[in-house]
Amino acid sequence: MNNLTDTIVARATPSGTGGVGIVRVSGQQTEAIARTLLGSLPEPRTATYRSFRNAAGERLDTGLALYFPAPASFTGESVLELHGHGGPVVISLLTEAIVDLGARHAEPGEFSKRAFINDKLDLVQAEAIADLIGSGTAQAARAALRSLSGAFSKSVDALAEQLVRLRMHVESAIDFPEEEIDFLSDSALLARIDECAAAFEILLAQAQQGRVLRDGFQVVIVGKPNAGKSSLLNLLSGQEAAIVTEVAGTTRDVLREQIDIDGLAVELVDTAGLRNDPDRIEAEGIRRAREALAQADAALWIQDATETEQEAPGPDLPDGLPVTIVHNKIDLSGDRPGQADGRVYLSAQTGEGIDALRRCIRDTAGYENQGEGAFTARRRHIKALQRAAGHFATGRAALEDARAGELLAEELRLAQRALGEIVGNVTADDLLGRIFSEFCVGK
């Protein structure tokens, strides 16, 4: 990323037309730019109606100016916000005028990156901004807001704090070798270790939930031709998204529909029926179905309940992918709707049994609507948490098996470091680059 001493500018509202368009400026030259653009510096944190003029004194627009002197701003630098009219041309004239006055166009996420560098946000909170903007369900948005308010960071910090206290205990034991064994068999120490282990478990479970909330859950519908896959997609999504006919081999493309199950964003993927003697187009469809399966979080294997010979889920399913067998067309077969022996019985035509399938998808995702308690998390966080938990477990074993206090101390140090990566206490530059480049410009 570019130099942090540059003054940056970007539109903060989406491109296209709108009632109001906001342009944001941040950096050392903000005051100077504001003086030229507005004639004088507006009162801090007070909406002031002004004309926006370029260096030549031409009026480009009128609107509200908001000035936040450093460090009391989103980025921690002096920030100017201009609320003008939301037309693409007006806004681009305004940003270009600001570039002429010495700013440069901001890169994606650069405002948030500066907020992070100036300690306005930790890394989890900065990521939560992007998650809030990109959230797919109301629950995901609420959870992202909780991460932004620091709920996740606080849990991580609390766990790190527990590790620090453990380390202090263990390291003081190491400093007094003649009493080391007593120190290390101390029941207070063992109780602390158990507490930490429990805290790791809870946080990991919460973070995994948070990951599903953020990224959603992808479910691929597969089975033999005519089993009713497309009918099921239509039923779950509440619209005639896929073509349904009595002809085997109707679906050839991969179709995707977003649905919301109690706040869990689920992407359903309908695929071509899998069979051995497809025509050429269908064969391509089957290839794509396999591709979709490789990306999936779970699969539904649809069977026609009226068929006497049931084929088991085929070799097309990747190892380790959770698969639910669904018996469809129970209106014809007479089976009872609902879940039994891990299978779901339903009718995509009458809708009987569909709630059992929704519950089943939710359970497979390990999703419970936690309401106010949830926060969003990312794969990156889970990996770091797992690494921390791994070090902790290794250290604990070293203590229990060999009374090896020094090994425990070292593993605790590594665990604490891994936790530090989550909130950004220790982070490699390339990681920062990767995280912030996924943001939208202007954030």
Ligand X SMILES: Nc1nc2c(ncn2[C@@H]2O[C@H](COP(=O)(O)OP(=O)(O)OP(=O)(O)O)[C@@H](O)[C@H]2O)c(=O)[nH]1
Please state, in angstroms and as integers, the Cα–Cα distance from residue 51 to each residue in 33, 38, 274, following that order.
Answer: 14, 6, 65
The answer to whether 230 contacts Mg ion (rule: CB under 5 A) is yes
Token pair of 5, please?
């001493």
CB of 242 to Mg ion, least distance (A): 6
Instruction: Choose among Mg ion, ligand X, none what residue 178 binds, the Cβ cut-off being 5 to 8 Å by kind.
Output: none
Residue closer to Mg ion (CB basis): 75 or 230: 230
Kindly report the three-state secondary structure assignment for every residue of 3-44. Answer: CCCCCEEEECCCCCCEEEEEEEEECCCHHHHHHHHHCCCCCE
Residue closer to ligand X (CB basis): 171 or 307: 307
Which residue stretch of 100-108, 226-234, 282-290, 408-416 sits at the interface with Mg ion (rule: CB under 5 A)? 226-234
Which residues are at the interface with ligand X (CB under 6 A)?
Answer: 225-231, 244-246, 248-251, 272-273, 328-329, 331-332, 347-349
Q: Using CB atoms within 10 Å of the CB of residue 188, give its burial: 0 to 12 exposed, 13 to 18 middle, 19+ buried.
A: exposed
d(CA 395, CA 389): 10
CB of 54 to Mg ion, least distance (A): 58
Residue closer to ligand X (CB basis): 151 or 232: 232
The answer to whether 328 contacts Mg ion (rule: CB under 5 A) is no
Which residue stretch of 34-42, 195-203, 251-259, 427-435 sits at the interface with Mg ion (rule: CB under 5 A)? 251-259
Residue closer to Mg ion (CB basis): 30 or 230: 230
Asked if residue 71 has a cis previous peptide bond (ω within 30° of 0), the answer is yes
Chain Cα centroid distance, residue 319? 25
Instruction: Choose among Mg ion, ligand X, none what residue 4 binds, the Cβ cut-off being 5 to 8 Å by kind.
Output: none
Instruction: Choose among Mg ion, ligand X, none what residue 248 binds, the Cβ cut-off being 5 to 8 Å by kind.
Output: ligand X
Residue closer to ligand X (CB basis): 254 or 441: 254
**What angle (nearest 5°) sits at the alpha carbon of residue 378, between those of residues 374 and 382?**
90
DSSP 227-267: SSHHHHHHHHHTS--S---SSTT---S-EEEEEEETTEEEE
Residue closer to ligand X (CB basis): 149 or 245: 245
Q: Are strands 48-53 and 59-68 parallel, antiparallel or unpaired?
A: antiparallel
Selected from 251, 303, 328, 416, the binder of Mg ion by CB under 5 A is 251
CB of 327 to ligand X, least distance (A): 10
Tell me how many residues contact Mg ion (CB under 5 A). 4
Closest CA to 298 of 217, 211, 210, 215: 217
Strand, coil or helix: 83: strand
Instruction: Choose among ligand X, Mg ion, none what residue 246 binds, the Cβ cut-off being 5 to 8 Å by kind.
Output: ligand X
d(CA 191, CA 354): 47
- How many CA within 13 A on the CB side of residue 11? 22
Residue closer to Mg ion (CB basis): 57 or 238: 238
Instruction: Choose among ligand X, Mg ion, none what residue 231 binds, the Cβ cut-off being 5 to 8 Å by kind.
Output: ligand X
CB of 365 to Mg ion, least distance (A): 24
Site for Mg ion, rule CB under 5 A? 229-230, 250-251
